Structure 1
Amino acid sequence: MLRRLKKESNELRQKRTTQRRLNVLFIAVMTLMTLLILRLGYLQIVKSEDYKKAVASNENIVINESVPRGRIYDRNGKLLVDNTAKKSITYTRGRMTTTYELLDTAKKLSKIINMPTDKLTDMDKETYFIQTHPEVVEKLMTKESEQFQNDMITQQQYDDILYKKIAPRVKLSKKELEIAAIYREMSAGSQLTPQTIKNEHVTEKEYALVSQNLAKLPGINTTMDWDRKYLYGNTLKTLFGKVTSKEEGLPKDNIDYYLARGYARNDRVGQSYLEYEYEDVLRGQKKKMRYVTDKSGQITSSEIIDPGSRGNDLVLSIDIELQQKIEKMIDKHIAILRSEGAKTMDKVLVVVQDPNNGDVLALAGRQIELNGRISDYHYGTFTSQYAVGSSVKGATLLTGYHQNAIKPGEEMVDEPMSFAGGMTKRSYFNQDGKITINDKEALMHSSNVYMFKTALKIAGMNYSQGMSLPKDISEAGRILRTGMNQFGLGVKTGIDLPNEVVGQSGKLTDNAGNYLDLAIGQYDTYTPLQLSQYISTIANDGSRISPHVVKEIRTPSKTETLGPVKEVVNGKVLNKINSTPTEMRQVKSGFDMVFNQIEGTGYNSFHNTTVKSAGKTGTAEVFQNGEPRVNATYIGYAPEDKPEISFSIIYSNQPVPPPWLPGGDLGRDIINSYFSTKK
């Protein structure tokens, strides 16, 4: 009986234990089920949109592809820069594409195209060899692999040793070199970004074969690429600027800037001058492609969702026919001047513009080597600076008027000047005598002495023989230099091109001789474009206007004609000259005498132009390789009464006169050509 009770008791105990265990298991299962349901609810309700977007982004990727840039026209609608289409073979790498798959596609592609191998480097060849000969790598690097696994050497050290050991063993056949060249281009691209494999000399047969075998060549595509085409050859080509190639892609020094603005690393962008300055206008609206990928990241299909459009077009203020004529004139006058002794002359720079609105009609520059070889230097018109001599004297007089230092028509004695300490100054036209002249005659004769005395008056001093010059000339120097700046001399002109230089301005503190030289253009240096802005400011009676080479921005047209005007680019009035009409007329009258009075320094070249012209000449003493030389300058405008064009000309490093070379004849020919064409 006792044993039976005990047995029942044990059975009951076991049942209770089993029941408790089942209860715990049931609770655990229910808890897990509840958590699972809650998790599923969270994923389906709370995170549903996020995961939908993630799936969409994995399966539908939108990639921007580059389009041709905008065209560039001259002011008369003549096409200067266009795009020429060329066949291109590209590769778009998937997200999960392996090196083996890259090599496999490269091998297949090599069977149907001829791939240039001239860009392959030794490292490219070694990399290809390493990828295709793993057994050789394993045998060579047994020791180093063990060291790397045990953290005894770094990845960089391992790679350095590997490439050093592999280099002597790399021997590739012609076909292997082609595969290596294709592999090099394919592996250079970013994921899901089209990378150009070949776009030079793609034959019709190659293009057709690749197009027919796209299904067997994952990631490969055929498309049309473009190159810039210059319809007027080298004319202004340097000024148009460069565009990076597919290989160069984004400039390394500005890569973050471009990436932040939606560019891809291999996009082509303007690299210099107009192409760079107007990149946002010329770049165009990219073509948008949608790539569909599978779960492994491989591209399964693609479609165009936005064909994009080429960039907006630029209409320049430049007249291409005038530009070409001026370039020919420059070359002609270089030959003439060299035949008359100007063998050391190394640059000729010309700017022609409309003084009333800032339109630049022509920018032309030439560099000349000692052997007479000539090359383009158009950008030198705003990126190089020179001492320009007496051409600045109109600005000196107008500054003197403004400071009440002199009055229009005021007479002074032109005479040799001497100062305490032995310094002497004189005018070229009057070496020894005393001649009374007024301000207009001072311009006509190019009197240095009149300008020196004007500068002294600005400093609050009247000249007397043997006088001492002040030790501190800084305030007078600031006033005179500011007066020059008002005309655009020594400051940026505001042209719509990069890399414009200001010129050099030396210190004007304790050297009064430098201050006097500033008054005759013999101290600070200026650009040809600054000279042009200065003479234009006088020609239009006192408005300093920013020059510009772009006149209009036009939306792209599907035909060969210009599209609608999107934006008109006007020159901005930067400042007005603080001169009275009487003061401005006085200087312009002096400029008239320079060109049209027989005693004027520009008379020989300009007195018989097609329309009456006015202006100023200058000669600055400089040194070239330690030898004395001169810069000859000419500025002017025409017609004299209602100017339509203004110009500046600089010849650098001519031989010291005599003889005086007929450099002004180039200015005469520019005026005559412009107005005869207009008629």
Structure 2
Amino acid sequence: MDTDSQKVRLGALGIVAVSLFLALFARLWFLQGIERQEFEAASVSNRLRVIQTEGPRGRILDVNGKVIVDNRTTIVVALDREQLREKVSGLDERDEADLEKIRTTLWSDFEVTATALNSLGVQPPLTAEDIWNRYTDKRYSPQEPVPVAEDVDPLVEQYFLERAQDFPGIIVERRTVREYPYGPLAAHILGYVGEINDQELLERGAVVPGSDEVPESTTTIPGQEPKPYEAGDSIGKTGVERAYEADLRGTPGERTIEVNAKGEMLDVVSDTPPEAGDDVWLTIDIDLQAHAEAQLARTVEDIRGGVTEDGRDITAPQGAVAITDPMGGEVRAMASYPSYDPRMIVNGIPTALWDELQDPANGLPLNNWAMQGMYAPGSTFKPVTALAGLQTGFINPANDTYYDQGTYELQGCTGGKCEFRNAGGARLGSVDLPRSLTVSSDVYYYWIGENLWLGRGTWGDQALQDTAFQFGLGDKTGIELPGEARGRIPTPQNRKEAYDANPEAFVTDEWFTGDNVITAIGQGDVLVTPLQLANTYGTIANGGTVYQPHVAYQTSRAIDPTEPPGAEGNFEVVRTIEPVEKGQVDINPDWYGQIFQGLVGVTQEGTAAAAWGANPTAWPFAGKTGTAEVNDKADTSLFAGWGPAVAGETPQYAIAVVVPESGFGGDVAAPLTFDIISPASNGQLDPVCPALDPERSECEKSKADAYARLAAAQQRQDEQAASGGVQAGGGTQAEDGAGN
């Protein structure tokens, strides 16, 4: 029995031993065969590093091919952390104790570097702590130089190159940054670039160093491969730079290097150079933009400190101009005052400058008031109300005239405000629709506003507002630039919603007749942006098509980057940005004729006649003044219109001008509009020259030559006229109309 038991036990042990050996051999075979490739791949991955090099951003051009944003080379003093790590070899930055030893070892070098940079006048002043913070900044790749001072003088570069042995780990590089040949012009349209932040990295599918957050998505252009980002890259923050980031961003280059266990570079495995981004062509005319900005700034600065006719102080904290092409929604100019200089922030925004730009006392210069400012439109809203009256049928051939006695009393009113009046109580007598626009009869529009509300059983309780919505008012225009305001068109429904959300702020949730009456003249809770207002008048000008405003019309790639991008044959179009029709407003030819007649009358004999007066532009101009009341402040001055306003001619410009806290529309906004549009309409718009030499010198010389030729031609013409003229075709030049 004992012998049998031993045999059984030995047999069992043998089976176990064989099983263990088989399992061991199976595991060895698995490690040698199946996992070998995985280990090899991981090994390669651990010793290879990929370093991205940003590609130059594409340029931005105006509608005529003038480069208004370019790139330039800047000098950067940076830390070469690879070299510095040799000095602290053997210490691990991930270990707190070692990190403190590294800090102690490098501190004196950083102090010497900071002292040298400060003595050379580098701004802002630096400390050793600043340089240490850059050294430990995890947003930068371990193999990537970390900038310490940017945009430094060439003398700083020379200083460090000559003393390289005295500044271990300090290198001087040349990098590409944005250049603005026309200085601060169109700053709000162009925007600026800055260092990508963590949220922007995630939105573009990039991993944030030191974060466990999962990237959301990759922003790209349909049909194009996404362009990768990493910490430290530049990205468009506002304006066109942000809106067309996917086009403008260059394709990064990739440098693959081999490193050892300490992360030190051993060899360059591959090197793919970066590619420049695509150029973006704007619809903006930089000459018109410059003229609009200059006239806006001049007007605001001239009127500040004055007093309105009703004794209120003119503060004019801001102002805005929007000019579009009525036939496609192309923005030709968009001026906002005050403005800022993007050249001041190409290397980041210093704290002091940021505080200054964000201070309301300075007018918030970073705000684009042309699309972010919301203002009561006042009488510039009257064409919308007129059209609402026409669309409902309330205004018709048998009912288009009202006798304006200067005041208007609501029908059957027994409480609250029952009487409304014209500005100054002016009695304007019998007015039809065209005349009501020309002389700006508030009473006529009180009459329409009240009756549209009283007829709500037939036309609905927001017939007036529905017409405004047809123009896109109360909503964003859809312009591609970020930050656009929606404006506001008050309705009985949103009054109730506002009350339900905050009952303490309202007496009641009801909509009264008086609310409709005040809305009809663009007051009360009506708010529009200057861009919305220009787009509204552009829609009337073209007969009813609502276009989405846009500031770019194509992107391109230069064939020869050394030649001007706008030169004929030197670019290929990458994509075209077509006009977008957002809707249609019902304006039949008869209605159009009435509104057209009334608005042309404004500049010929009405509330803007003093601005046009004895100095007519080359075109007749249709438009409307507006004076919007603001509690305890001077009125907002407005003008909106289009030209040429000639039957059968295509309108070229729709314009809106708004200057808050400045007085009557006919006193400020209308003259400002004339000053902007007059030279644009008669071909005398002064070309603007770049702010930089040598381009500026060449441009100024070209302008001087052109002016000299014009002066010589004028002198010859004057001499001919003085001598009786030159016979040509049976008459004198004067008789033939030459020069008129």
Q: Tell me, yes or no, whether TM beats 0.5.
A: yes
Q: Counterpart in 2 of 1:564?
A: 572
Q: Counterpart in 2 of 1:362?
A: 333
1:203 partner SS: helix
Shift of 1:101: 8.4
For residues 487-542 of structure 1, the C-alpha deviation after alignment (integer angstroms, 9 at most, x for no partner) is: 23222111111111112344534222121111111120111011100010011111
Measured at CA, do residues 267 and 357 of structure 1 come closer, stay the same or move farther in structure 2, by a change above 3 Å? same
The residue correspondences of 1:161-560 to structure 2 (distance < 5 A) are 180-189=129-138, 192=142, 194-200=144-150, 201=152, 203-207=157-161, 223-245=173-195, 249-250=196-197, 252-258=198-204, 259=206, 260=215, 261=218, 262-338=228-304, 341=307, 343-367=314-338, 379-407=368-396, 410-415=400-405, 416-419=407-410, 420-421=413-414, 423-428=418-423, 431-432=426-427, 435-461=429-455, 478-506=462-490, 508=492, 509-523=510-524, 524-555=526-557, 558-560=561-563
Shift of 1:583: 1.3
Please say which of residues 555-564 and 602-611 is displaced more in the overlay.
555-564
Shift of 1:544: 0.7
Alpha-carbon separation, structure 1, partners of 2:532 and 2:127: 54
CA contact (8 A) 1:440 1:589 kept: yes
Measured at CA, do residues 118 and 538 of structure 1 come closer, stay the same or move farther in structure 2, by a change above 3 Å? farther
Give the aligned residue type for 2:533. L
Alpha-carbon separation, structure 1, partners of 2:90 and 2:579: 54
CA contact (8 A) 2:617 2:681 kept: no
Give the aligned residue type for 1:529. L
Alpha-carbon separation, structure 1, partners of 2:159 and 2:20: 65
Measured at CA, do residues 301 and 521 of structure 1 come closer, stay the same or move farther in structure 2, by a change above 3 Å? same
Give the aligned residue type for 2:637. A
Measured at CA, do residues 401 and 615 of structure 1 come closer, stay the same or move farther in structure 2, by a change above 3 Å? same
Alpha-carbon separation, structure 2, partners of 1:37 and 1:373: 79
Alpha-carbon separation, structure 1, partners of 2:116 and 2:535: 49
Q: Counterpart in 2 of 1:8?
A: none
Structure 1: state its 5+ residue gaps: 1-12, 121-176, 462-471
Give the aligned residue type for 1:670. I
Q: Counterpart in 2 of 1:577?
A: 585
Give the aligned residue type for 2:642. Y
Alpha-carbon separation, structure 2, partners of 1:29 and 1:294: 43
Structure 2: state its 5+ residue gaps: 119-125, 207-214, 219-227, 309-313, 340-355, 493-509, 566-570, 686-740
CA contact (8 A) 1:103 1:183 kept: no
Count of residue correspondences:
580
CA contact (8 A) 2:617 2:682 kept: no
Measured at CA, do residues 366 and 183 of structure 1 come closer, stay the same or move farther in structure 2, by a change above 3 Å? closer
Please say which of residues 486-495 and 418-427 is displaced more in the overlay.
418-427
For residues 229-271 of structure 1, the C-alpha deviation after alignment (integer angstroms, 9 at most, x for no partner) is: 22222222243223224xxx41x45453242344323222222
For residues 462-483 of structure 1, the C-alpha deviation after alignment (integer angstroms, 9 at most, x for no partner) is: xxxxxxxxxx999855221121
Alpha-carbon separation, structure 2, partners of 1:113 and 1:570: 57
Give TM-score scaled by structure 2 length.
0.70
1:385 partner SS: coil
Shift of 1:460: 4.3
CA contact (8 A) 1:613 1:637 kept: yes
Measured at CA, do residues 106 and 545 of structure 1 come closer, stay the same or move farther in structure 2, by a change above 3 Å? farther
Alpha-carbon separation, structure 2, partners of 1:36 and 1:429: 103
Please say which of residues 501-510 and 227-236 is displaced more in the overlay.
501-510
Give the aligned residue type for 1:358. G
Q: Counterpart in 2 of 1:70?
A: 58
Alpha-carbon separation, structure 1, partners of 2:366 and 2:166: 49
Measured at CA, do residues 586 and 377 of structure 1 come closer, stay the same or move farther in structure 2, by a change above 3 Å? farther
Measured at CA, do residues 587 and 390 of structure 1 come closer, stay the same or move farther in structure 2, by a change above 3 Å? same
Give the aligned residue type for 2:518. D
Q: 2:607 aligns with which of 591, 596, 601?
A: 601
Alpha-carbon separation, structure 1, partners of 2:31 and 2:172: 42
The residue correspondences of 1:145-156 to structure 2 (distance < 5 A) are none
CA contact (8 A) 2:487 2:529 kept: yes
For residues 337-383 of structure 1, the C-alpha deviation after alignment (integer angstroms, 9 at most, x for no partner) is: 448645333222111111111111111122499xx988857711010
For residues 312-348 of structure 1, the C-alpha deviation after alignment (integer angstroms, 9 at most, x for no partner) is: 2221111111111122222333355448645333222
Q: Counterpart in 2 of 1:84?
A: 72
CA contact (8 A) 2:188 2:336 kept: no
Alpha-carbon separation, structure 1, partners of 2:102 and 2:267: 20
1:244 partner SS: strand
For residues 79-109 of structure 1, the C-alpha deviation after alignment (integer angstroms, 9 at most, x for no partner) is: 2122222344354679997135896699679
Please say which of residues 531-540 and 316-325 is displaced more in the overlay.
316-325
CA contact (8 A) 1:115 1:181 kept: no
Alpha-carbon separation, structure 1, partners of 2:240 and 2:100: 39
Measured at CA, do residues 516 and 96 of structure 1 come closer, stay the same or move farther in structure 2, by a change above 3 Å? farther
Give TM-score scaled by structure 1 length.
0.76
The residue correspondences of 1:115-126 to structure 2 (distance < 5 A) are 115-116=113-114
Matched, 1:666 2:672: yes
Give the aligned residue type for 2:316. M
Measured at CA, do residues 459 and 374 of structure 1 come closer, stay the same or move farther in structure 2, by a change above 3 Å? closer
Please say which of residues 391-400 and 419-428 is displaced more in the overlay.
419-428
Alpha-carbon separation, structure 2, partners of 1:96 and 1:491: 62
Alpha-carbon separation, structure 2, partners of 1:637 and 1:184: 56
Alpha-carbon separation, structure 2, partners of 1:116 and 1:528: 49
Give the share of equivalent positions with the same residue, in percent.
Answer: 25
Give the aligned residue type for 1:411. T
Alpha-carbon separation, structure 1, partners of 2:108 and 2:573: 48
